[in-house]
Structure 1
Amino acid sequence: MTVANQLSNRTGVVIAVLAAATLAYGAQPDSVRLGDEALQKHALQKLVADLRAEQKLVGLAATVMADGEVVAAAADGERKLGSGVPVEVGDRWHLGSITKSITATMIARLVERGDLDWQSTVGQTLGEEGVHVDWRGVTLSQLLTHTAGAPANFSLAVRIQRPAEGRPTVDARRQAVLGVLVKPPLTPPGEAFRYSNVGFTIAGAMAEAATGESWEDLVRREVFEPLGLEHAGFGPPKSRAPEFLQPRGHVTRLGFKVAVADTADNTPIMGPAGTACMTLEELCRYGNEHLRGQRGEGKLFTAASYQRLHTPVLDNYGCGWVVTQRDGKVVSCWHNGSNTMWYAYLTFDLESNLVVAVAANDGDIPAAEKAAVRIAAAASDIVDVKKAGAGQAD
């Protein structure tokens, strides 16, 4: 099995778990072994609680979907450290770079409508004025598979900007993108994998240029609304004192966990790379749409488009998904994300028909990642426990 390790500063993603099927991860520690009677009774809740405590996370939540139905959901910890307000299974969570697959999904809708083509180029869509000649032929497909040669992140001058949603963000996004395109790509397009928030932002700007609509409005119309993701949005969920109706993100400073403001996030300019949020039940429904779409049963577009999104190009990466294949066939897809204040993880497995979503309101990425992979590993056993206990009282 291969392990990719592509952590960049504030990238919103950590490609640092097994690129092989995470549902086949190794044995659980004794504290959460699936043979325990208590775990058989409340399998996911115990697992989430144990892992949150073990990894010292502020809050941790998970949802498991099988055959399109939620079979287990659990949450443990606090919405804000020291508040005494518990996280709940219906809370909203910042998704970080899981947003990349959402951007690719929206663009697939535009491609099928004829607004864009997978081979649409930067020069054709954004114009050639001021754009380096080596960028002009870079395709939408290359941008969505991290093979365009784009830098990982924008300059600090861009990252500190906070334009308002709508035309201010559209204009600022275009200017930020054009500021990158004046210089040549860092590697020849199509020849190397370079994980890049900038690349997905360029793709988002191309969608805006092709339609005259903002990336945010396009995602709402093409992804959130058709899938009924009513609580989905952009940026961290709003969570004001004293009620703390939603979780707050947290960072570690001088060895102590500290809550951040409920507005703290990456710049909205790089929204196409990592600013979506939603509940974990909604995230599972989104993942299940991709699972079904791979089989030709999706509702957003044709099987060919889903399969294109799930086909790896370099380093097991498709369009916003890390892909596991066996004998040339897709077995599972996953992605994770963090804006350094939150963590989220989504995987779907075609063999077990499972979708697993995990999130933490904690920027301790290594700890949250360990918890997420263990939960994904245990998901099939949790489903078996739930099925075995069907019709019995707790």
Structure 2
Amino acid sequence: MTDTSADVALLPSTRRALLHRIAVAQCEGRAPSLVAAVARGGEIVWEGARSMVDGHAPDGDVQYRIGSISKTFTAVLVLRLRDEGLIDLGDALDKHLPGTAAGEVTIAQLLAHAGGLGAETPGEWWERTPGSQRPELADVLGDEPFRHRPGRRHHYSNPGYTLLGSLVEAVRGRSWEDVLRAEVLLPLGLERTSMLPQAPHADGWAVHPWADVMMPEPAQDLGLMAPAGQLWSTTRDLARFAMFLARGDERVLGAESVREMRQAASPPEPGLAEAGYGLGLQLSRTGERLLAGHSGSLPGFVAGLWLSEVEDVAAVVLANCTSGLPASTVAAELVGIVADAEPRIPQPWRPFKEADPVAVELAGPWYWGTAPHVLRLRADGLLELGPVAATGRAARFAAAGDGTWTGLAGYFAGETLRAVRRPDGSVSHLDLASFVFTREPYDAEAPVPGGVDPDGWRGIGR
């Protein structure tokens, strides 16, 4: 019997496990309210909420402040500029936004928090002061904006994303808010994501660490710092946004560009970017599970969004307390609950519809020196080269249109794979970034670097 159902609904046991996790989080974290959502297979498949003191019954339509998840939205706008050819990620900021004290930093370094800029703005705690107190970029950067040499390390920088927001405004000629609404929120249908709170929304609270009492937190308009943390949103909108970050949407960013966002662009930073930091996305590894997403916090609110591309699961957690509830950790655990309890069912195998005879000719075993590898032709038209052993450099390659293939990720990203032929047209060997792959280990008839001993293989007594 073949299961052709597209149903992605969760089992009752999984739904209870999710509810139990957020109930424990809200209780032990002493949050006035908590809302969560899980998406799988391109759909929101579960929503949950806990509230005891807020005066409303929170659900996926109630707005919470999402803090630094706003940075991921800003990164999407910057990648759109790149994809349109208006900027290059290797450009110095000064090329498009002249006159700042950080003009030497590249756009890519700012996206990955590798520009060496300070973590915070000078002066008062910017998250609790009106943005009108920082009317110019000079007020955001201060007299000494750098803490490290650009490009040397990951150092999370809120001012860096203020610069990226100003870059978007300079290139587009419109405000960051207007560009965001027109180019991301409207196309993706994120109608409940906004600069300022829109009813129904949660109020932000500080919960006393040693007493069960609360105090309201101010909700400031962050002004120039908005691209780093201004947005309000809902779990439903953020779950949709997470699905976009996993799959892409040609109206906003294609699949390859969002995949680029999810790849490490700066080294790991303990406690903040455990597996490195992508282009506007934090990366984290739990065992073998790699997650991409972002945490967020502002006075009165904490937030977490994580997705697993391999398992096609995303989770969002929002709560209205300043501290005490690890929203990002809980969101990651929700992903794990679903992925572990209900592993993704793979799509049915299907053959290549029109196999390229050249690629078929190349499929099969190859040897780099004595290390056996296998080259496979996939149904999606990609070539996949990987070691027979458990470890080694595996890679996928896309046809370049000239008889060669280009690496898509990992060690061989951007490198060219080519079949080198003999005068009679038969394949002699594969050339990949100067590596020679032969049909036999150290094939004497192939141009193996350094040559092959003319006496060939031998035993110890020979």
User: TM-score scaled by structure 1?
Assistant: 0.73
* Alpha-carbon distance between aligned partners in 2 of 1:364 and 1:254, rounded to the nearest angstrom: 9
Pair 1:305-2:266 in alignment: no
* Alpha-carbon distance between aligned partners in 2 of 1:108 and 1:74, rounded to the nearest angstrom: 33
- The 1:39–1:56 alpha-carbon spacing in structure 2 relative to 1, beyond 3 Å, is farther
Pair 1:318-2:278 in alignment: yes
Choose which of 1, 15, 25 in structure 2 pairs with 1:51. 25
Instruction: Give matches, 1:208-223, under 5 Å.
Output: 208-223=169-184
| 8 Å contact from structure 2 (residues 247, 258) kept in 1 | no
Which residue of structure 1 lines up, in the alignment, with residue 159 of structure 2? 198
* Alpha-carbon distance between aligned partners in 2 of 1:273 and 1:40, rounded to the nearest angstrom: 35
* Alpha-carbon distance between aligned partners in 2 of 1:163 and 1:369, rounded to the nearest angstrom: 26
Which residue of structure 1 lines up, in the alignment, with residue 45 of structure 2? 71
| 8 Å contact from structure 1 (residues 100, 200) kept in 2 | yes
How far the C-alpha of 1:38 sits from its partner, in A, is: 8.2
* Alpha-carbon distance between aligned partners in 2 of 1:71 and 1:373, rounded to the nearest angstrom: 16
Which residue of structure 2 lines up, in the alignment, with residue 144 of structure 1? 111
How far the C-alpha of 1:330 sits from its partner, in A, is: 9.7
Q: Secondary structure of the residue that 1:226 maps to in structure 2?
A: helix
**Aligned length, in residue pairs:** 323
- The 1:110–1:363 alpha-carbon spacing in structure 2 relative to 1, beyond 3 Å, is same
How far the C-alpha of 1:324 sits from its partner, in A, is: 4.8
| 8 Å contact from structure 2 (residues 29, 324) kept in 1 | no
How far the C-alpha of 1:64 sits from its partner, in A, is: 0.7
Q: Secondary structure of the residue that 2:224 maps to in structure 1?
A: helix
Pair 1:375-2:348 in alignment: no
* Alpha-carbon distance between aligned partners in 2 of 1:281 and 1:254, rounded to the nearest angstrom: 30
* Alpha-carbon distance between aligned partners in 2 of 1:260 and 1:310, rounded to the nearest angstrom: 36
Pair 1:162-2:121 in alignment: no
* Alpha-carbon distance between aligned partners in 1 of 2:172 and 2:251, rounded to the nearest angstrom: 22
How far the C-alpha of 1:208 sits from its partner, in A, is: 1.4
User: TM-score scaled by structure 2?
Assistant: 0.63
Which residue of structure 2 lines up, in the alignment, with residue 231 of structure 1? 192
How far the C-alpha of 1:193 sits from its partner, in A, is: 0.9
Give CA deviations for 1:130-164 in whole Å, capped at 9, x if unaligned: x45xx332111111101001101112358265357
How far the C-alpha of 1:270 sits from its partner, in A, is: 1.1
Give CA deviations for 1:43-85 in whole Å, capped at 9, x if unaligned: 433432233123322111110111011111011114xx3x543
* Alpha-carbon distance between aligned partners in 2 of 1:322 and 1:62, rounded to the nearest angstrom: 19
Q: Which has the higher contact order (CA 8 A, sep 6+)?
A: 1
Identity level (%): 26
Pair 1:341-2:300 in alignment: yes
- The 1:323–1:248 alpha-carbon spacing in structure 2 relative to 1, beyond 3 Å, is same
| 8 Å contact from structure 1 (residues 96, 344) kept in 2 | yes
Which residue of structure 1 lines up, in the alignment, with residue 95 of structure 2? 124
Which residue of structure 1 lines up, in the alignment, with residue 247 of structure 2? 292
- The 1:317–1:349 alpha-carbon spacing in structure 2 relative to 1, beyond 3 Å, is same
Which residue of structure 2 lines up, in the alignment, with residue 107 of structure 1? 78
Which residue of structure 1 lines up, in the alignment, with residue 230 of structure 2? 275
Give CA deviations for 1:296-333 in whole Å, capped at 9, x if unaligned: x654223332232122122110112122579xx99431
- The 1:231–1:43 alpha-carbon spacing in structure 2 relative to 1, beyond 3 Å, is same
* Alpha-carbon distance between aligned partners in 1 of 2:319 and 2:178, rounded to the nearest angstrom: 27
Look up the equivalent residue of 1:301 and give its one-letter code.
L
- The 1:383–1:156 alpha-carbon spacing in structure 2 relative to 1, beyond 3 Å, is farther
* Alpha-carbon distance between aligned partners in 2 of 1:206 and 1:41, rounded to the nearest angstrom: 43
How far the C-alpha of 1:205 sits from its partner, in A, is: 1.2
Look up the equivalent residue of 2:314 and give its one-letter code.
V
Pair 1:353-2:353 in alignment: no
How far the C-alpha of 1:175 sits from its partner, in A, is: 4.3
Look up the equivalent residue of 2:277 and give its one-letter code.
Y
* Alpha-carbon distance between aligned partners in 2 of 1:330 and 1:367, rounded to the nearest angstrom: 19
